[in-house]
Amino acid sequence: MLSKRNLQLDDRGELHHLLAIEGLPKRIIERILDTAESFVGVNEREVKVVPLLRGKSIFNLFFENSTRTRTTFEIAAKRLSADVVSLDVARSSTSKGETILDTVANLTAMHADMFVVRHSESGAPWLIAQHAAPHVHVINAGDGRHEHPTQGLLDVFTIRRHKPDFTRLTVAIVGDILHSRVARSQIHALTTLGVPEIRLVGPRTLVPPELARLGARIYTSLDEALVGVDVITMLRLQNERMNGALIPSASEYFACYGLTPKRLALAKPDAIVLHPGPMNRGVEIDSAVADGRQSVILQQVTYGIAIRMAVMAMLAGAAR
């Protein structure tokens, strides 16, 4: 998708917006991961702050509420010494009938440097990037069912720290693939980095056969799908899916697709388990697995800060 790649990269091929993993060149993904490595250390220091983005104004525009994701971007920005303003967009001018583009034009006029955008509509960050002033950078923090690129990046960063050679991995992603921007971003990242086998697992209502076009193999049996895998990503089952329309019940879902220690034993002995959070313990994952030695779920959270710092620093030209 050439047009998307062009919008994300500037004339010199540097990252200008982060809107999606799809279409992002491998060298850019790898540069983000390498840059994030340097920020892991900053977060472990006594004084967790570097002056890279001092005097920059970053706006969190969360048209869809997410305290958790907003907090990670806020922390990442503050540790880079940027000024962050989080707008409660649901309560602001948009509710007075102002368009998104007018809201963004106004904030740009206040000399914004960067927008972190979450929206329930797929493509909203794209629309903003298309109309943004040349010096303004846009980060997609999750748009509809489309992508959640920083999540995909922190997923592959976490994987790389444990399994450095992507070309030898088998990865299973389990759950509601159909509605998941997390899954979509991770699949694109894994594919670009050369993972040869991706398995998508779940009931036919949540993992329809046509998802095979993403370059993945479709499984309805979790037991079959787990055999020999190196990495397992468990997706959160949204509460609204548990009302009987798409799956019979939470307990039946757990019986079929919940990751238990017994099932985990089917994977390779050193397989790692990821989950984007927040977890439904006892629905998609057993607590013994979530808190077990193969879980890297809290590492994902830790590395998520480093990834967001890396993306922000690269966009601002402070980490090239």
- Which positions lie near a second copy, rule CB under 8 A? 43-49, 54-57, 65, 67-68, 71-72, 74-75, 78-79, 83, 85, 87-89, 91-93, 96-99, 102-103, 105-111, 239, 277-281, 298-299, 301-302, 304-305
Select from 175, 172, 202, 205 the least CA-distant residue to 187.
172
Shortest separation between residue 304's beta carbon and a second copy, angstroms = 8
Shortest separation between residue 216's beta carbon and a second copy, angstroms = 27
Q: Which is nearer to a second copy, 255 or 298 (CB)?
A: 298
**Which residue's entry shows tokens 């670009």?**
192
Q: Which is nearer to a second copy, 120 or 239 (CB)?
A: 239
**Which residue's entry shows tokens 């748009």?**
143
Shortest separation between residue 167's beta carbon and a second copy, angstroms = 29
**Which residue's entry shows tokens 């959160």?**
236
Shortest separation between residue 198's beta carbon and a second copy, angstroms = 26
Q: Which is nearer to a second copy, 107 or 256 (CB)?
A: 107
Shortest separation between residue 91's beta carbon and a second copy, angstroms = 6
Q: Which is nearer to a second copy, 260 or 302 (CB)?
A: 302
Q: Which is nearer to a second copy, 58 or 226 (CB)?
A: 58
Q: Which is nearer to a second copy, 97 or 209 (CB)?
A: 97
Shortest separation between residue 194's beta carbon and a second copy, angstroms = 28
Q: Which residues contact 310 (CB under 8 A, 6 or more apart)?
A: 32, 33, 35, 36, 38, 39, 319
Shortest separation between residue 227's beta carbon and a second copy, angstroms = 30
Q: Which is nearer to a second copy, 171 or 285 (CB)?
A: 285
Q: Are 99 and 71 in contact (CB under 8 A)?
A: no
